[in-house]
Amino acid sequence: MKAYVLIKTAGGKEDEVLRRLLSLSTVEEAHKVFGQYDIVAEVRGRDMETIVEIVTARIRKIDGLLDTHTLLVVDPEIDMASSSLAS
Amino acid sequence: MKAYVLIKTAGGKEDEVLRRLLSLSTVEEAHKVFGQYDIVAEVRGRDMETIVEIVTARIRKIDGLLDTHTLLVVDPEIDMASSSLAS
Amino acid sequence: MKAYVLIKTAGGKEDEVLRRLLSLSTVEEAHKVFGQYDIVAEVRGRDMETIVEIVTARIRKIDGLLDTHTLLVVDPEIDMASSSLAS
Amino acid sequence: MKAYVLIKTAGGKEDEVLRRLLSLSTVEEAHKVFGQYDIVAEVRGRDMETIVEIVTARIRKIDGLLDTHTLLVVDPEIDMASSSLAS
Amino acid sequence: MKAYVLIKTAGGKEDEVLRRLLSLSTVEEAHKVFGQYDIVAEVRGRDMETIVEIVTARIRKIDGLLDTHTLLVVDPEIDMASSSLAS
Amino acid sequence: MKAYVLIKTAGGKEDEVLRRLLSLSTVEEAHKVFGQYDIVAEVRGRDMETIVEIVTARIRKIDGLLDTHTLLVVDPEIDMASSSLAS
Amino acid sequence: MKAYVLIKTAGGKEDEVLRRLLSLSTVEEAHKVFGQYDIVAEVRGRDMETIVEIVTARIRKIDGLLDTHTLLVVDPEIDMASSSLAS
Amino acid sequence: MKAYVLIKTAGGKEDEVLRRLLSLSTVEEAHKVFGQYDIVAEVRGRDMETIVEIVTARIRKIDGLLDTHTLLVVDPEIDMASSSLAS
């Protein structure tokens, strides 16, 4: 399964948060962006439990991170397939 | 009467805030969620005064809670019924 | 699994959208609310696939509905338990 | 009881929506504003039922109105007092 | 001229912020609300300069206040009249 | 006085809305942007009445425009100066 | 260069919009999501001009698409590198 | 290239943040505003790298600044022209 995590950081903490995100093996990509958020991270995990664990126990605990908005991918055929394999 | 309280917490404080919410007898349910908010709490009270008291004097004072958005249920027939019974 | 679906409707369509929502067996509760949204629906399904199907193929196709914001419940211990039982 | 109704209208419909709002006896004040909304209406009613009826059956049905965000006043001592007198 | 100031406060600081707002002579009304904001204040001043001074030098400096969104009333005939009298 | 008008347009209508904006003498600059809005227009007028007239009677009536968020410049010393000269 | 395009669609149009997005060679990935948006598309182009052309002339003209929020990737070292190679 | 940076500041820090912004040679204009943001800054740079450097290394590190939303100007013909000259 996959999720996009839209992140706001404290001013000037973007590079530090980005480095911490990229050090996590479950974060496939993470980029600084312009717009209403400061960073987008792409997270991939075997199942929902893994995604939840990454977002709440790892990402949201990074120092300097202020706010997250997680967009969980819910394509029935593609991502759900990997989810049913896992069960 | 009933209200949904959409909650943002400081990073990594979700479990602690959730435990505090679930310890309140007037909180019927509370769940961690993915989306623009971190937790949804369902609050039920005899009347408006009770709901207001729970949200402002109890929930909003929980440590680690950053922002709330309260959606008050206003179904005329169902929830208002319990409200007029109370008067 | 459970999700809260925050809904905006076209003006004056709240009652009609609410009736349509309450006619769906997978919608446990649905209420008109005051705040940034007009209706909150609580949806419950056996697994992610079911929730996705309800939200995208049923709820979002209701006439008069303008915008939805789905908050998926991600409590690891409680709701995930029912999810692993289902597999 | 009192509520502030923040309103977005279709482009160029502000004056018409404003006139319709001001023709309602329960709308105490209504003004065009600059910011994220186009109009603010102040609504006053004897009790919750009245406020809900005004907002959903009257205001939200005005042609040209696109979106409302109702902020219900919940001061315990002042507005609640008038509410308990009504019961 | 008039402005509505939509306010978010730190958790549990609503009553204190409300008291501070009500002590300002230029704040006509201020109420705790349910919705995306915690307090709405109605501010009235002789002209734009006064409104700006109240909002930025008084209201936004209140301890415990986190965020404001000012909706300036721009009705051409009514409020602008008082503005042209002032010049 | 000056205002920034943040604009959302219907899909594919950006160029047409932009051309219409740039044809108005009171619109100093207008640009397509990436972010939560599609276009930013900079509007300048002799006084508040002019700004209000431009935004509500001209800009908001442009076909294909869906939503505006007007940020009125309120610098006391600079822009207010030109405003008091006008009176 | 890369951009994330957060998309809201009309109710029930997600699958159609998704198919149209995936038919564009410059859209690397596109997924239905839960949260404040309905679809996330990942767009890649040789330079800014290409990204802008894809988003405004292709993506935003898709029927059933209501709103987009483009988050442009601005990592200085990585994505800018490909951008300077292109010049 | 040009960008509009929409800024929220801590209460009472607007003047200080504004002074810091105006001391940067790359900030063409910066104004206090009424609406959902507190300050708008107009930033101009030779190319994307410069804009990114200004926003993330200069502006977002200013003390008292809480949140930024950068709207990058993407007019193909005008601003892109200066961008292709730079390459």
pLDDT of amino acid E8: 97
pLDDT band for position F75 (50/70/90)?
Answer: confident
Cα gap B61→E12, rounded to integer Å: 5
| DSSP labels, B10-70 | -TT-HHHHHHHHHTSTTEEEEEEEESS-SEEEEEE-SSHHHHHHIIIIIGGGSTTEEEEEE
pLDDT of amino acid B76: 65
G72/F34 Cβ within 8 A: yes
Identity (one letter) of the amino acid at H14? E
pLDDT band for position A5 (50/70/90)?
Answer: very high
Q: Which residues contact F32 (CB under 8 A, 6 or more apart)?
A: F14, F15, F18, F38, F39, G52, G56, H73, H74, H75
- Using the Cβ of B33 and the Cβ atoms of chain G, whether some distance falls under 8 Å is answered with no
pLDDT band for position E77 (50/70/90)?
Answer: low
Q: What are the angstrom distances between the C-alpha of H3 and each of C30, D14, H31, H47, H54?
A: 43, 30, 14, 11, 10
HSE (CB half, 13 Å, CA atoms) of G53?
12
Of H11, H35, H36, the CB nearest to E60: H11
Q: What are the angstrom distances between the C-alpha of B74 and each of A66, B4, B80, D48?
A: 33, 11, 7, 8
Token duo for residue C84 = 């692993």
A45 closest CA partner among A20, A24, A23: A24
D35/F68 Cβ within 8 A: no
Assess whether pLDDT exceeds 70 at residue E13: yes
Shortest CA gap C77–chain D (Å): 35
What percentage of chain D exceeds 90 in pLDDT? 80
Which of A69-78, C14-23, D15-24, E75-84 has the least mean pLDDT? E75-84
Other CB atoms within 10 Å distance of the CB of residue F64 = 16
Is residue B52 in some structural domain?
Answer: yes
Of B3, B62, B67, the CB nearest to E8: B67
If you search the block for the tokens 């800014």, which residue do you land on?
Answer: G48
- Look up residue E60 and give its DSSP letter: G
Do residues H5 and H56 touch, judged by C-beta distance below 8 A? no
Cα gap C3→C30, rounded to integer Å: 12
Contacts of E2 in chain D (CB under 8 A): 31
pLDDT of amino acid F30: 98
- Taking residues A10-31, what's their average pLDDT? 95
Count the residues in chain B: 87
- At F29-69, the pLDDT tens digits run 999 999 999 999 999 999 988 999 999 999 999 999 999 99
Assess whether pLDDT exceeds 60 at residue E7: yes
| DSSP labels, F20-71 | HHHTSTTEEEEEEEESS-SEEEEEE-SSHHHHHHIIIIIGGGSTTEEEEEEE
Assess whether pLDDT exceeds 80 at residue A9: yes
Which of A17-21, D58-62, E2-6, F83-87 has the least mean pLDDT? F83-87
Q: What is the mean pLDDT of each run of 10 residues along chain G (87 residues)?
A: 97 95 96 97 94 94 96 72 38
Cα gap F33→F56, rounded to integer Å: 22
pLDDT of amino acid C76: 65
G65/F34 Cβ within 8 A: no
Q: Which residue of D has its CA nearest to C10?
A: D66
B69 closest CA partner among B61, B60, B77, B79: B60
Cα gap C8→F83, rounded to integer Å: 40
Assess whether pLDDT exceeds 70 at residue B74: yes
Do residues G55 and G70 touch, judged by C-beta distance below 8 A? yes
HSE (CB half, 13 Å, CA atoms) of D27?
21
Is residue B29 in some structural domain?
Answer: yes
Is residue B81 in some structural domain?
Answer: no
Cα gap F50→F46, rounded to integer Å: 6
Do residues E42 and E28 touch, judged by C-beta distance below 8 A? yes
Cα gap D81→D86, rounded to integer Å: 9
pLDDT of amino acid A75: 87
pLDDT of amino acid A76: 66
Neighbours of B, requiring at least 3 CB pairs below 8 Å, are A, C, D, E, G
- E9 strand-pairing partners: E65
Cα gap D40→D44, rounded to integer Å: 13
Domain total for chain H? 1
Cα gap G44→G1, rounded to integer Å: 6
- Using the Cβ of B72 and the Cβ atoms of chain D, whether some distance falls under 8 Å is answered with yes
Token duo for residue G85 = 């190679």
Identity (one letter) of the amino acid at G36? Q
Cα gap D60→D54, rounded to integer Å: 8
CA D41 to chain centroid, in Å, comes to 4
Of D36, D37, D71, the CB nearest to E33: D71
More confident residue, B7 or A76: B7
- Taking residues H4-25, what's their average pLDDT? 96
Neighbours of F, requiring at least 3 CB pairs below 8 Å, are A, D, E, G, H
Count the residues in chain H: 87
CA H13 to chain centroid, in Å, comes to 17
More confident residue, B78 or H53: H53
Beta strands B2-9 and B65-73 are antiparallel
In this structure, what are the phi and psi dihedrals at residue F7, rounded to the nearest 5 degrees? Answer: -125, 135
Shortest CA gap G16–chain C (Å): 12
Query: Quick check: do B and D touch, 3+ CB pairs under 8 A?
Result: yes
pLDDT band for position E81 (50/70/90)?
Answer: very low
Shortest CA gap G17–chain A (Å): 13
pLDDT of amino acid H19: 96
* CATH number for the domain that contains residue B24: 3.30.70.920
Question: What Rg, from alpha-carbon coordinates, does chain D have?
Answer: 13
E7 closest CA partner among E31, E32, E36, E39: E39
A52/C83 Cβ within 8 A: no
What percentage of chain F exceeds 90 in pLDDT? 80
pLDDT band for position E86 (50/70/90)?
Answer: very low
Assess whether pLDDT exceeds 50 at residue A51: yes
Of B49, B72, B76, the CB nearest to D76: B49
- Using the Cβ of E79 and the Cβ atoms of chain F, whether some distance falls under 8 Å is answered with no
D-E interface: how many C-beta pairs under 8 angstroms? 60
Assess whether pLDDT exceeds 60 at residue H83: no
Question: What Rg, from alpha-carbon coordinates, does chain G have?
Answer: 13
More confident residue, G55 or A87: G55
List the domain range (segments joined by +) for residue F80.
2-86
- Using the Cβ of C25 and the Cβ atoms of chain A, whether some distance falls under 8 Å is answered with no
A54 closest CA partner among A66, A63, A45, A67: A45
Q: Which residues contact F79 (CB under 8 A, 6 or more apart)?
A: F1, F2, F73, H31
More confident residue, B34 or A76: B34
Assess whether pLDDT exceeds 80 at residue E80: no
pLDDT of amino acid B75: 87
Share the mean pLDDT of chain A: 88
Helices (H), chain D: 14-22, 48-53, 78-86
Assess whether pLDDT exceeds 70 at residue A27: yes
A51 closest CA partner among G22, B32, B19: B32
What percentage of chain B exceeds 70 in pLDDT? 86
- At D39-62, the pLDDT tens digits run 999 999 999 889 999 999 999 999
Assess whether pLDDT exceeds 90 at residue D85: no
Q: Which residues contact H30 (CB under 8 A, 6 or more apart)?
A: H18, H21, H22, H39, H40, H41, H42
pLDDT band for position H75 (50/70/90)?
Answer: confident
Other CB atoms within 10 Å distance of the CB of residue F86 = 14
Token duo for residue F73 = 């410049």
Is residue E85 in some structural domain?
Answer: no
